[in-house]
Amino acid sequence: MSVTRAIPKPNFETSARALASSLTSNPSFFVRTHFDVPAIDLGKWHLVIRDQASRSVFYSYDDLTKMRQKTVTATLECAGNGRTGFSAIPQDEVPWGAGAVGTARWSGVTLRDLIPKTEANENANRVLVEGEDSGPVSGHAQPVRYARVLPMEEAVRPQVLLALKMNSDPLPVEHGFPARLIVPGWYGMASVKWVRSISVISGPTLETHFNTRKYVYLSEGASKPVRETRVKSLVTSPRRGGRVRVGQRVAVRGKAWSGDGRIVRVEVKVEGKKTDAHVAQRMGRYAWAEWILDWRPRNVGEAEISVKATDSSGNIQPEKPFENQYQYGFNAVRPVKVRVLE
């Protein structure tokens, strides 16, 4: 793959069927783009790393593949996932259902191996990561490039990668080929795709469109950056609107995840009874946990299944969402209704 083609701005969710899998396959993994997917000539592409003295180091794709590689299994969720569960959807925002989430094995070079360990960077407190993608944004006279800033203490976490592979294959074009950032535990907006440069900086928060205007919780005059993924769960089986039978065993299954800790409890409420499900987080701290509960329906008619997850930091899914201007971070309990037949 020496030259990739531009793709008109794609956005799609992971299917309900694919959400049931432990790992989300590359073709099924949700895609979120703000602009068209950029065309990249791999023979000409290089990654630029800049220190605070404006000194630059250049890496080709081959250079990066020859460096020490690390693999992290991580769940990525769009900050707007579940937006349809809010009271209203903001103009120009993607009306996501529950499928803007997926889990993959990401492999590449740790960001801390790439950040220059020079005297000029001793007091640096931030890292600016810029992608190749850009486009028109209301209120800006010139095209805006997608860029995000990470606090240095987050950037040098050993799990933060410049990923080259996804589920053992080279990154698909729509997922950031040739290289993308992966910030486990944070919403997907931090995992910049088609990375072109990484700059070490210092000082207060850098004013960029996607760092200080978008991807912030704006509510009642207060502003807070969108960062760690909020504790959340979903039911993958039985599916919404599915049919089950009275007295027959039903395996109620799903996923739960959080950027602020491991999942330690999943409480399932069905037919008015609350029961703790069996939880297994086999794929590591930053991947979703899988949970299961056996249920034998007692009554014919409509049955409601609701799920509430708790993480190791004590965060519990709320009953109602946190309303904010762009409707980010939806993690309220969303019941699934099924039909119980005789």
Dist CA 231 CA 16 (whole Å)? 20
| 39: number of Cβ within 10 Å | 12
Q: What is the pLDDT of residues 119-167, one digit of tens each?
A: 777 888 999 999 999 999 988 999 999 999 999 999 999 999 999 999 9
Judgement on whether residues 252 and 209 belong to the same structural domain of the protein: no
Would residue 3 count as lying in a domain? Answer: no
Q: Which of 205, 225, 245 is the last residue of a domain?
A: 225
Judgement on whether residues 145 and 221 belong to the same structural domain of the protein: yes
Dist CA 79 CA 325 (whole Å)? 13
Residue 109 pLDDT exceeds 90: yes
Residue listed under structure tokens 């599915």:
242
Judgement on whether residues 180 and 324 belong to the same structural domain of the protein: no
Judgement on whether residues 119 and 190 belong to the same structural domain of the protein: yes
The pLDDT confidence band at residue 1, using thresholds 50, 70 and 90, is low
Judgement on whether residues 314 and 201 belong to the same structural domain of the protein: no
Dist CA 106 CA 110 (whole Å)? 11
Residue 327 pLDDT exceeds 80: yes
Residue listed under structure tokens 């946990």:
289
Would residue 1 count as lying in a domain? Answer: no
Average pLDDT over all residues of the chain: 95
Judgement on whether residues 143 and 258 belong to the same structural domain of the protein: no
Judgement on whether residues 201 and 271 belong to the same structural domain of the protein: no
Domain that holds residue 33: 16-225
Would residue 6 count as lying in a domain? Answer: no
Helices marked H in the chain: 16-19, 61-65, 111-114, 152-155
Judgement on whether residues 199 and 248 belong to the same structural domain of the protein: no
**Average confidence (pLDDT) over 226-239:** 97
Percent of the chain predicted with pLDDT > 90? 88
What is the predicted pLDDT for the residue at 277?
Answer: 98
**Average confidence (pLDDT) over 231-256:** 97
| 53: number of Cβ within 10 Å | 12
Dist CA 187 CA 171 (whole Å)? 19
Judgement on whether residues 238 and 297 belong to the same structural domain of the protein: yes
Q: What is the count of structural domains for the chain?
A: 2
Q: What is the pLDDT of residues 34-91, one digit of tens each?
A: 999 999 999 999 999 998 888 899 999 999 999 999 999 999 999 999 999 999 999 8
Judgement on whether residues 238 and 335 belong to the same structural domain of the protein: yes
Judgement on whether residues 243 and 182 belong to the same structural domain of the protein: no
Dist CA 288 CA 14 (whole Å)? 15
What is the predicted pLDDT for the residue at 73?
Answer: 98
CATH code assigned at 102: 3.90.420.10
- The CA-based dihedral angle spanning residues 189, 105, 284, 238, taken in that order and rounded to the nearest 10 degrees: 80
